[in-house]
Amino acid sequence: MTTIIGVEYEDHCTLMADSRTTDSEGRIYSHPTITKLNKRGDFIIGGSGEASPCDIAQHLWIPPKLTARDKKDLVHFMITKAMPSLRKCLIRHGYNFNEPSSEMRFQFLIAVGGYIFDVDQELVASRNDPGIYAVGSGSSYALGALHAGADILEAMNIAARLTAFTAPPYIQISQPR
């Protein structure tokens, strides 16, 4: 599984991800060239859950260009341009939105313009008022730590201590506003 954390600051945002992945039988994989955070144009994308939609979003999607006008209303930009573009890319590469599942299939943290969006498997882009985000198996631990005053690295270390599906090394990417 995964832990991806995002924190918004006054002039930038930062995303951090662990490097542990597991397959359906519980085998552990970790390699420095396979990361859960990737830059795509004006976006930083962190993916948790099923590997296929994460790989498509992080390596095959060509996101729309963020214009000065779009920066004035990022929520509108995400809803009307970014998410429809991502949906088309996922479908084009074989992702089936109609496949039944009783669990969350994937979840992304996407940074654009120095702000973070929590994007669920239906491609609903949400924002959180304190600017603190986490997705993946260690997200509850990381969010609790952040709300208790831990910095992003401390929160990731706490998540790694409390779930077997989160482990260093960590990758961190920041984006200015």
- Whether the pLDDT of residue 1 is over 80: the answer is no
pLDDT of amino acid 26: 77
Rounded Cα gap, residues 94 and 153, in angstroms: 35
Res. 24: pLDDT tops 90:
no
In the chain, the percentage of residues whose pLDDT exceeds 70 is 99
pLDDT at 117: 98
User: DSSP assignment, residue 110?
Assistant: E
For the CA atoms of 156, 176, 32, 166, the dihedral, rounded to the nearest 10 degrees, stands at 20
Determine the pLDDT at residue 20: 85
> Coil, helix or strand for 174?
strand
- pTM of the entire predicted model: 0.94
Across the chain, mean pLDDT equals 94
Neighbours of 48 (CB within 10 A): 25
pLDDT higher than 80, residue 130: yes
Query: In this predicted model, which residue has the larger pLDDT, 146 or 26?
Result: 146
Quote the percentage of the chain above a pLDDT of 90. Answer: 83
Q: CATH no. for residue 128?
A: 3.60.20.10
* Residue 30 CB contacts under 8 Å (≥ 6 apart), including other chains: 19, 20, 21, 167
Task: Say how far apart CA 10 and CA 22 lie, in whole Å.
Answer: 35
- Give the per-residue SS3 of 28-81: EECCCCCCCEEEECCEEEEEEECHHHHHHHHHHCCCCCCCHHHHCCHHHHHHHH
Which residues form the domain of 112?
3-176
Domain count, the chain: 1
Residue 30 has pLDDT above 80, yes or no: no
Contact between 91 and 100 (Cβ < 8 Å)? no
Cis amide prior to 63 (ω within 30 degrees): no
- pLDDT tens per residue across span 53-96: 999 999 999 999 999 999 999 999 999 999 999 999 999 999 99
